[in-house]
Amino acid sequence: MKRAHVRITTALSESSADLLAYLQRRVGFDEASDLIGETMVVAWRRVDDLPLDAEQARMWLFGIARTALLNHSRGQRRRWALADRIRGDALMPVVAPAADDGAEIRDAIGRLDPDLGELVRLIHWERLTIVQAAGLLGIADSTARTRYARAKAQLRAALGVPAS
């Protein structure tokens, strides 16, 4: 059991900055710290499932973080729906203006189908390969390639960039 503890400590130490950045880009700084903590607790609880290969261990941790993020998003949607029912109002989307130069690109990615947007974020923001992103999303490599090509075409059209 001690060997597993050393491996999980090493894996978390090596990946925690990337995991935190992954979460911060999706939920902001405040909520990301709670989600990274949740990710670490789940990883420790499932230490026996930790892959031996360092890269696979990193991707395993990203998978746990993604699940924590999805659970967080579902909970948030339920809270918003409840608040709307209590108020008796229709859902009112909150759109905050972007604070930097990447706003147009982030907005275009945000308008993509959620699965396409997440694939683009994983590849460009988290610097995963298409194969790694496919594994994390639980889809075939060929499906990821097709979706990525579709996302690039949609982004080019949205941003007015001619196809190369």
Q: Residue 160's domain is classified under what CATH number?
A: 1.10.10.10
Same domain, 154 and 130: yes
Tell which residue, 78, 50, 61, has the closest CA to residue 20: 61
* Structure-token pair, residue 100: 């930097």
Contact 144, 130 (CB under 8 A): yes
* Exposure string over 61-71, b if 16+ CB within 10 A, otherwise e: bbebbbebbee
Same domain, 54 and 130: no
Model confidence over 58-79: pLDDT tens digits?
Answer: 999 999 999 999 888 887 777 7
From 73, 81, 87, select the one nearest 117 (Cα to Cα).
73
Are residue 114 and residue 129 in the same domain, yes or no?
yes
Confidence of residue 3 (pLDDT cuts 50, 70, 90): confident
The pLDDT of residue 81 is above 90: no
pLDDT score for 98: 47
pLDDT for the residue 90: 47
- If one counts the domains in the chain, the total is 2
**Considering the chain, what percentage of its residues have pLDDT values greater than 70?**
86
pLDDT at 102 over 90: no
* Closest C-alpha to 37, from 27, 49, 50, 48: 27
**Statement to judge: residues 28 and 101 lie in one domain:** no
Of 136, 163, 139, 140, nearest to 152 by C-alpha is 163
In terms of domains, do 76 and 132 share one? Answer: no
Are both 84 and 121 inside the same structural domain?
no
> What is the arithmetic mean of pLDDT over 147-164?
88
- Both tokens of 63, joined, read 């998978």
Looking at residue 78, what is its pLDDT?
75
Q: Are the C-beta atoms of 30 and 60 separated by less than 8 Å? A: no
Asked if 151 and 75 sit in the same domain, the reply is: no
Kindly report the CATH number assigned to the domain that includes residue 12: 1.10.1740
pLDDT at 76: 76
**Cβ atoms 130, 123 nearer than 8 A:** yes
Of 92, 123, 144, which residue is a domain's last? Answer: 92
pLDDT band at 154 (very low <50, low <70, confident <90, very high): very high
Q: In terms of domains, do 37 and 88 share one? A: yes
Judged against a pLDDT cut of 60, whether residue 1 lies above it is answered with no
* Residue-range definition of the domain harbouring residue 116: 95-164
